[in-house]
Structure 1
């Protein structure tokens, strides 16, 4: 009669603790205080695991003599181990198992009935009490069979079911604890004299300088003052490759330094630190109630009422309408109540919520609103801001048009050398592109900015100019028709084209041209392709020029472009899409995206963006990677599928199990005992726990 009872999570003291099964389902495991970084509830949960383990082993030890002393089992085995007083010893042992082993379930039933919400604890308590009280009546003279062995085995199975399941629950509930463990206990703080002192991480304050040695964890958010190293941020942001960090770069507490030592100025500690903000967001997400959980809670309540009703009808039918003995009728009723315990229903949704939230955090998806995350499965349109989301928000060379006799790398290196003296964004884009290619830049002398035209400098004794298209016309420099036509085409697409020439005036020798534009993120094309695989429409919403937006859209395969939209008009566009019947998500990173993020059915803020955008969004994407937005949708769909699967595992088997428990196949010799019913019920609970933990990001 083990049953489904409280299952490791439902009442688990939940029974003894005072949570009702329903409360534990609705709040316990979705709320998941279980891991607030080693907090009290998690410790208490671990204590309860030990408590059920201890109760199980004690009761199992007592069950052995109970089985040996049971007259029915002796008869089946063909032995007679009765002795004077053996029945009373059997009764005493069974009483200990009933009270000590059954206490969590009996206490939980009192809690449930006191709140007028009968649930799984009520069913378990009713089942073991009916079997025990009936057996006591037989000992005192009522004609019938002793069910003490059924009571003991049922309690054992329920206890071990709780023990095993609670361990699974704890495994699924450790997201916050794992995050908290990322922080080191101590830091190397630098004194005014440059010496290091060992201090607790909690003693660090903004403005402190610390030394992060090779292979150490970063103890606080900060900015690199000196040194260079590759830093592993995988546990925090989901990036699989270590990130190069140097002077001026930001470091996240909990990331792991590579082989180089770094001197860091602390910028954030305590509640303001990134890791603590992640912990807070994860806790909020786990505490926010799933709408699907409401369905599970209602189903559990109705299943409880159904089980009690069917159990009572089963008892009356077998007792009053058949020739079967009273013991058989009681056994059928007890089996029905055991097998129908909705414990797995109580876990079906909270466990999936726990696992998906943990997966989200590990993949750089911070869920702030659980309901919005669940809505993401229904999305059919994903709107991207262009600048900073699909693109990097900075100029870069998109195409090199080298004239005959000049290589692409030579042209870019020459242009970068000349532009190195300018602070213009175009100049910065040229220099950065050369650096990305690892090009060596020649020495430059006599840099000069030419107002309205471009720049010039002397490189290796020759004059090199970088000029605008208008300046080329004025100077009368002749480029090949093919090069000019290609350059003109790029210009009409909204790209900025600059020309590189050697010499002055009409005698200047054309070297080539460079086209620059906002650099498209290398991940953007993959994100759009994956989005199309999921059946969604990709929309670009930007304030940039239409030709620029359409050029980016063509590169990426964007389905629809809405360009030249003023910041205050973006939310109106979202409303128009919704009016068309679309379920819309918005991804953005700027202040001008905040109203649209709030208007969308699901708002996705790029974590590297502004605080106002992050605060307005439902889900924060830690990295500026558009693929993360697609992962949100894929994970939301996978999470919902797991929830539906768990609901079927938790409740669907009752369609077959309850009639079998009631004895509909008894005329053909197929009868389930309470112990078998308990095994089936416990298996459904374990299946739900294991199935939840198999959730993966697609």
Structure 2
């Protein structure tokens, strides 16, 4: 089982084009996470080193000196400039040049190709100028462009942290050792991988079940909530099945191994997660699309400029310089920062509000979500039981029933027991001492409190004793999916206590806000129909799917996506939600949930507050608005500057000198940066 974590394929969804060529080198050692960290470090290092070398480039540039009206020229300065710029071009520009190769191979020129075009033209033309084949050099332009683009990419990648460790987390749920019982009844510790079908294994109280198997001896309750979403621990007896990875309660069990390795339930969940992750394609980012058109536009504008000036009879050198100016100006510094800065700001706003964004593309698509699917247990509800109703017989008060029941329940670790003791605390009832406590397996609890024999038992046991109780009340509560326990004091029925999973207060607000945004709310749960409907009606859910098995959860999501044609977000917290989280357009994990759910999700809600689902959609919309504003600013500047650089206004004596082009460019970069900072939730 554990070997699953080492060679899962790379989830495509976090790769930017420039990462592909790095990817190949790093696949051999360490998972995607280490690789990603390495990439972030690589961009950071390239940025700082290039930035340092840019300072002397700027000081030595004749054009910058002219602009500052100083003269720091000396013999051979141009060759030093050439050497420094060559280093920046090859060292700083390498990720872009390598990325261009990939983009062109995919026949999809984008950001990388646009950057490479500008820096290559600037480098080649400037180098020609150094050796006397052209007039001005653009080395300063080349260096600043490389710096800003490295910075943009570094910011962006830092905010798109690591890919999925979900599969390793899933593998961790499985215990690595098991207590094997041999034919002579001796127990030895073995590695789970050594177990074969038909082996007998001992599972002690509180331990994880090592593999899928059938119970041969013993009785216990098993907590399967992490795997199946069933909120109440399940009573297990001889002949029933135990799932590997679930947690055994208070009894000892001997199980016969049925499935091992890749056949186990958990391994199948892992496979589902893996498939869903791989099937998500990388959303092509806005800036990349803008870059693609700018690339074609720049090439066309550059060629037209050259042809027109030549045909008007101007010298080749003049036509060349105009063309070069157009090609360099076409690559917007601002465009390289437009998206990354908004991304960085929105990521930090999100983090401050307890939303951790793990997959940018999915988060940015959240603005189009049309349906939100909620898991019930632990998401809409707290996943802990509370007392909802108490009914007493004539001779007893509610206080007495709770007081006696809580005294006995306090001895047990069962979730229902915690609910009863919580109620006593709320009512301000001190817990009495219990003697002769014992657990009646499958029936309930017994103890002596204040000299009286007290039983807190299941409906089945009450029927066995043929005791009369209020059937109408009992049936009503049961139909609402509540769990009812009976309190008997000295063999007399004292009262019934109904318990249910407590609904989060914020869940109601969240559903109402989603309705206002025209987003449909759907509940999807492994719990039984009665419980699901009881909770769903309280919340005003539009659709409820109950008793859904884990592998069916991702199928249901697919159904909503394909048949109902709705872009779907899934919110959940358990292992059983992992495949569905991966399948949804946006997977949202509740932070209090399991590591696996968190690792499969696109966004993690730290505060387990359903209202944060609404905040994600709002923040995504705001982020997108800012991003489009920035891209228009960045590209708009270029759309205006290209004709000027081409020399449209030359006849009336206005020519955009490269130096002025540079100032306008830095101005548009500043505007983009300020605009990004104005983003708020």
Relative to the length of structure 2, the TM-score reads 0.60
1:676 equivalent to 2:660? Answer: yes
The answer to whether the Cα contact below 8 Å between 1:663 and 1:671 also exists between their aligned partners in 2 is yes
The answer to whether the Cα contact below 8 Å between 1:570 and 1:595 also exists between their aligned partners in 2 is yes
Distance 1:39 1:455, change over 3 A: closer
> What is the aligned counterpart of 1:309 among 300, 305, 309?
300
RMSD: 5.7
Cα distance in 2 for partners of 1:25, 1:347 equals 18
Alignment of 1:464-475 (within 5 A): none
Cα distance in 2 for partners of 1:437, 1:174 equals 51
Distance 1:438 1:335, change over 3 A: farther
Cα distance in 1 for partners of 2:371, 2:100 equals 48
> What is the aligned counterpart of 1:655 among 614, 639, 643?
639
Shift of the alpha carbon at 1:311? 2.8
Cα distance in 2 for partners of 1:64, 1:52 equals 20
Distance 1:160 1:589, change over 3 A: closer
Which is further off, 544-553 or 495-504? 495-504
> What is the aligned counterpart of 1:539 among 519, 522, 537?
522
Structure 2 residues not aligned, in runs of 5+: 1-15, 164-206, 208-272
Distance 1:122 1:380, change over 3 A: closer
Shift of the alpha carbon at 1:552? 0.7
Shift of the alpha carbon at 1:644? 3.9
> What is the aligned counterpart of 2:284 among 285, 289, 292?
292
The aligned counterpart of 1:122 is: 117
The aligned counterpart of 1:245 is: none
Distance 1:364 1:412, change over 3 A: farther
Cα distance in 2 for partners of 1:26, 1:357 equals 24
Report Cα offsets for 1:397-418 as digits up to 9, x if no partner. Answer: 1345689999977764443124
Distance 1:601 1:127, change over 3 A: closer
1:159 equivalent to 2:143? Answer: yes
Alignment of 1:285-684 (within 5 A): 290-293=282-285, 296-297=287-288, 299-318=290-309, 320-321=311-312, 332-342=322-332, 344-345=334-335, 363=354, 365=356, 367=358, 376-399=366-389, 412-421=402-411, 426-434=416-424, 440-445=430-435, 459-460=449-450, 489-498=476-485, 514-565=497-548, 569-577=552-560, 578-590=562-574, 593=577, 596-597=580-581, 600-604=584-588, 626=610, 633-634=617-618, 637=621, 640-641=624-625, 643-666=627-650, 670-684=654-668
Shift of the alpha carbon at 1:321? 3.3
Cα distance in 1 for partners of 2:161, 2:32 equals 8
The answer to whether the Cα contact below 8 Å between 2:53 and 2:88 also exists between their aligned partners in 1 is no
Cα distance in 2 for partners of 1:105, 1:37 equals 24
The answer to whether the Cα contact below 8 Å between 2:577 and 2:597 also exists between their aligned partners in 1 is yes
Report Cα offsets for 1:425-446 as digits up to 9, x if no partner. Answer: 5434312444577753123456
Cα distance in 2 for partners of 1:430, 1:603 equals 35
Distance 1:444 1:385, change over 3 A: same
The aligned counterpart of 1:97 is: 81
Shift of the alpha carbon at 1:521? 3.7
Distance 1:165 1:497, change over 3 A: same
Cα distance in 2 for partners of 1:595, 1:685 equals 42
The answer to whether the Cα contact below 8 Å between 1:365 and 1:621 also exists between their aligned partners in 2 is yes
Shift of the alpha carbon at 1:539? 0.9
The aligned counterpart of 2:268 is: none
Report Cα offsets for 1:78-124 as digits up to 9, x if no partner. Answer: xxx9xxxx9xx678444543553465348859958995776434334
The aligned counterpart of 1:58 is: 56
The total of aligned residue pairs comes to 536
Cα distance in 1 for partners of 2:294, 2:534 equals 58
SS at match of 1:580: coil
Distance 1:411 1:337, change over 3 A: same
The answer to whether the Cα contact below 8 Å between 2:578 and 2:596 also exists between their aligned partners in 1 is yes
Cα distance in 2 for partners of 1:166, 1:438 equals 63
Cα distance in 2 for partners of 1:371, 1:501 equals 58
Shift of the alpha carbon at 1:131? 6.9
Cα distance in 1 for partners of 2:529, 2:444 equals 26
Cα distance in 1 for partners of 2:142, 2:331 equals 11
Structure 1 residues not aligned, in runs of 5+: 1-21, 75-80, 139-145, 180-222, 224-280
Cα distance in 2 for partners of 1:103, 1:449 equals 77
Distance 1:606 1:50, change over 3 A: closer
Shift of the alpha carbon at 1:366? 6.7
Cα distance in 2 for partners of 1:662, 1:684 equals 19
Cα distance in 1 for partners of 2:55, 2:32 equals 25
Larger Rg: 1
Cα distance in 1 for partners of 2:403, 2:621 equals 48
The answer to whether the Cα contact below 8 Å between 1:463 and 1:503 also exists between their aligned partners in 2 is yes
Cα distance in 1 for partners of 2:442, 2:157 equals 63
Cα distance in 2 for partners of 1:49, 1:474 equals 80
Cα distance in 1 for partners of 2:371, 2:589 equals 16
Shift of the alpha carbon at 1:516? 0.7
Distance 1:65 1:380, change over 3 A: closer
The aligned counterpart of 1:234 is: none
Distance 1:102 1:343, change over 3 A: farther
SS at match of 1:558: coil
Cα distance in 2 for partners of 1:56, 1:449 equals 76
Cα distance in 2 for partners of 1:527, 1:450 equals 42
Cα distance in 1 for partners of 2:321, 2:348 equals 43
Cα distance in 1 for partners of 2:54, 2:596 equals 53
Cα distance in 2 for partners of 1:356, 1:69 equals 37
SS at match of 1:653: helix
The answer to whether the Cα contact below 8 Å between 1:605 and 1:620 also exists between their aligned partners in 2 is yes
Distance 1:431 1:336, change over 3 A: same
SS at match of 2:284: helix
Cα distance in 2 for partners of 1:606, 1:681 equals 43
Shift of the alpha carbon at 1:494? 2.4
The answer to whether the Cα contact below 8 Å between 1:597 and 1:603 also exists between their aligned partners in 2 is yes
The aligned counterpart of 1:244 is: none
Distance 1:122 1:103, change over 3 A: farther
